[in-house]
Amino acid sequence: MQQKEIRFRKTRDLGAIITDSFDFLKQEIKPISRILLVYVLPFVVLYAGAQIYMQRNVLSRFDLSNTESIMANIGPFYSNLFIFMLFGTFINSLLVGTYYSYLEAYIKQGKGNFTLQDISSHFFHNSLLALGAGLIFTAATFLGIFMCFLPGIYIANTLSLIAFIVIFEKKGISYAISKSWQLVNSQWWNTLALNIVALLMIYAIGTLLSLPTLIFGFSTGIFAPADVNLADFPNWYWAWTALTSIITTMLSVIPVTFLAFQYFNLEERENPQSQS
């Protein structure tokens, strides 16, 4: 059956954005999977390995019954956590930059009018743009959370479109911040609902995948001796934890697809005469 080209620039309600996002992902699953497996997955595997290292080798040093042990290890813990967070921001930027490069070509050139070789040269540059947007987004959100949590939610939601704008419009970070602020505030609650739905989807999938390790950890915590150490957990536990991390990280294409459709929904409402 011949596939049709999905039109991004169109006014949509929340349900239509979700439905059309999944229709697009289902239709373009082969080329999207190819670029993500080649350009992103190896780094995601490294990220999962770093996550396991954090949990197994760093957290296992803490003895909650020994205050001196906690204080002695708190510095290395925060150092590793900071490095881990930076690595996570890089991985997310790589995924967003690579995936949005495909979306950019699909929207601007049309379905079937480009090859993966045609756009592969854009992956690195767009990932750097996404990294800059991600760092600003993270810093602004944390600043808002430190102020009083609610400002953090407001900032995170209002700036949620900056990665797509900076890659698609190519007018710089400051312009992307201003444009995201303008568009999102035209339908702030609608955008918040979309972001919440996306987060709940990923959280639900992650929780479902984590059931074996959650059940094991729960039973171990109840029936095992009090001095059980995370490092003593069996290898299958850590392998499953890593696999869950890899899958949920790769599935973040779902929320970023939602945001791409939301960008065009809001843009079309604000500028109905413009053409993509």
- pLDDT, residue 227, reads 55
CA separation for the pair 238, 236 (Å, rounded) = 5
Task: Please state, rounded to an integer, the average pLDDT across all residues of the chain.
Answer: 86
CA separation for the pair 240, 157 (Å, rounded) = 32
Check: CB of residue 134 under 8 Å from CB of residue 163.
Answer: yes
> In a 3-state reduction of DSSP, which class is residue 7?
coil
CA dihedral 120, 159, 276, 168 (to 10 degrees): -20
- Split at pLDDT 50, 70, 90, the class of 233 is confident
Average pLDDT on 246-250 reads: 95
Q: Which of 187, 179, 175 lies closest to 161 in space, CA to CA?
A: 179
Domain ranges for the chain, please list them.
14-270
Q: Helices (DSSP H) in the chain: which residue ranges?
A: 14-27, 29-39, 41-53, 67-109, 116-119, 123-148, 150-158, 162-168, 173-186, 188-209, 211-223, 235-250, 253-270
Residues 139-167: pLDDT tens digits? Answer: 888 888 887 778 889 999 999 999 999 99
CA separation for the pair 98, 109 (Å, rounded) = 16
Does the pLDDT of residue 108 top 60, yes or no?
A: yes
Residues 168-216: pLDDT tens digits? Answer: 999 999 999 999 999 999 999 999 999 999 999 999 999 999 999 888 8
- pLDDT, residue 61, reads 63
Check: CB of residue 261 under 8 Å from CB of residue 8.
Answer: yes
Tokens at residue 142, please? 């944390």
